[in-house]
Amino acid sequence: MTDSPVDPVSTAAWARLRALAEGFAPDLRRWFADDPDRVARLTFSAADLHVDLSKSLLDGEVLDALLALADEVGVEARRDAMFRGEHINVTEDRAVLHTALRLPRDASLEVDGQDVVTDVHDVLERVYAFAEKVRTGAWTGVTGQRIHTVVNIGIGGSDLGPVMAYEALTPYRQDGLECRFISNIDPTDAATTLAGLDPATTLFIVSSKTFGTLETLTNARLCKAWLLDGLAGHDAADAVARHFVAVSTALDKVAEFGIDPANAFGFWDWVGGRYSMDSAIGTSLVVAIGPERFGELLAGFHAIDEHFRTTEAARNVPLLMGLLNVWYTNFLGAESHAVLPYAQLLHRFPAYLQQLTMESNGKGVRWDGSPVTTGTGEIFWGEPGTNGQHAFYQLIHQGTRLIPADFIAVANPPYDLKDGATDVHELFLANFLAQTSALAFGKTAEEVRAEGTDEAVVPARVFPGNRPTTSIMAPELSPSVLGQLVALYEHLTFVQGVVWGIDSFDQWGVELGKQLAQKVGPAIAGDEDALAAQDPSTRALIAYYQEQRTR
């Protein structure tokens, strides 16, 4: 699908939105007072997710214009092309089929002459069989001991998803089996992660789509050396075979690295790295939570895929959320977007979303190579509530920037604790609700004065309100709900990308740094020619480093 993107700016809907934005004076207090149906009208369900958009800066006219924009730029047509397996990743000439990773076994989807559902389930079966062996102790290390620690070595999409989900699904982990994650090429990461581990009971999963990523291969070599050192006396090939498995699309490179292809799990170039946590890249997670729970996670993803694929536009949650972000970004001047989970176990979710959203939509050209005609991308960031409340919420409440925020909470906490008679989870939720309410409705000068505040301090204590939030709630943080949340953000990212006309599935912007690092390395190590090729600032920094380095 290489057709040119529709220029959003040329559409009638864009002109309408621009006109609406000019005179836009959001007044959530009045909107709520005048429209008793606002909450019902703007609350939607997608599988188990309950999504309340009523505290958004959205009125009927804006919503209609956004839906018209989606129509004019062809969001639904491109969505359907994605689900069909057309090559909508234009710059890499690839299909985009992370949705196929969660199709049920009895589904069928032929892409480029290949039944991908069979392929997906064949690999899943192998991953599940391997995970069961580790979980039951049938898989032993070279000394015959069972595995107690699984270390995933990967970075970006080969790390962030598994870590995030491992943390989020803590209550579902098997006792006595720990997962650790090494991603950074800072040697501190490998050193601290391996500290205290017994090589005899440790198994490494080298996760890399390309199996060419410097960080991952370096860390894999460090871990191999650590393992062989700790298991000196055992046959090295045997030790690697019992303690190393790999996940990659490049099985030839896996073999070159010395890992038996029988211990490797594949996936396909139609799965982007940041969309791969539900492929074999999730093997560490399967070991931790087991195949059954992982299957529930996949079913959760699929439920939202189906919602996105089949629900009419006016009730389609990823579509509405993606369009809302376009409204904030392109018409109301928002530059960043906070994601604030009121669920401690989602503490890595904002970090995960940073790659998903920013690597996808941080682009300055469209899929036909022409420059974008609008601002693109948003800076996603966040921390779990209530920690964030005591750090940066001040700026969201009273600062000069517009920061739309997604608040995420579950009704049933994984750990139910009481402080005397007080249900601590309810106290936690009270904060979620108080914050979203204060952001929407603010506090007027009259209300501040009515509290007897000294007049000089009144302005500082006024809250302007009309700070937009989306409230996302679910019954509990189950594997299925986690899959639903991830799929929701995958698809809203896609919607934004289509509006902007960009290829949300390539990532050329990270390539340059990788290439340059290969050239700077020799300069640091003392190669005169390589040093001379650097810019003056880089040469000076290298000189400082060399002076300071004492070990």
| Chain positions contacting ligand F6P, by CB under 6 A | 155-158, 208-210, 213, 216, 273-274, 359, 507, 510
Residue 437 CB partners (closer than 8 Å, separation 6+)? none
Distance CA 385, CA 207 (A): 31
Distance CA 54, CA 68 (A): 20
CB nearer to ligand F6P: give 78 or 274: 274
CB nearer to ligand F6P: give 156 or 341: 156
CB of 269 to ligand F6P, least distance (A): 11
CB nearer to ligand F6P: give 157 or 290: 157
Residue 544 CB-density burial (10 A; 0-12 exposed, 13-18 middle, 19+ buried):
exposed
CB nearer to ligand F6P: give 182 or 334: 182
CB of 273 to ligand F6P, least distance (A): 3
CB of 468 to ligand F6P, least distance (A): 30
CB nearer to ligand F6P: give 158 or 471: 158
Residue 423 CB partners (closer than 8 Å, separation 6+)? 416
What secondary structure does DSSP assign to 106-147, as a single string? T---EETTEEHHHHHHHHHHHHHHHHHHHHHT-SB-TTSPBP
CB of 212 to ligand F6P, least distance (A): 7
302 in active site = no
335 in active site = no
Residue whose entry in the numeric block shows the structure tokens 């195949």: 291
One-letter amino acid at 143 equals T
CB nearer to ligand F6P: give 157 or 199: 157
514 in active site = yes
Q: Which of 76, 167, 296, 359 is catalytic?
A: 359
Distance CA 366, CA 506 (A): 11
Distance CA 416, CA 339 (A): 24
Strand 110-111, strand 114-115: pairing: antiparallel
What secondary structure does DSSP assign to 325-391, as a single string? HHIIIIIS---EEEEEEESGGGTTHHHHHIIIIIIHH--SB-TTSPBPSS----EEE---TTGGGGT
CB of 191 to ligand F6P, least distance (A): 21
Strands (E), 162-314: 178-182, 202-207, 244-248, 264-266
Q: Which of 61, 110, 335, 514 is catalytic?
A: 514
Q: Which of 256, 335, 390, 519 is catalytic?
A: 390
Query: Is the Cα dihedral 352, 505, 182, 379 positive or negative?
Result: negative
CB of 155 to ligand F6P, least distance (A): 5
Which residues form the catalytic set?
359, 390, 514
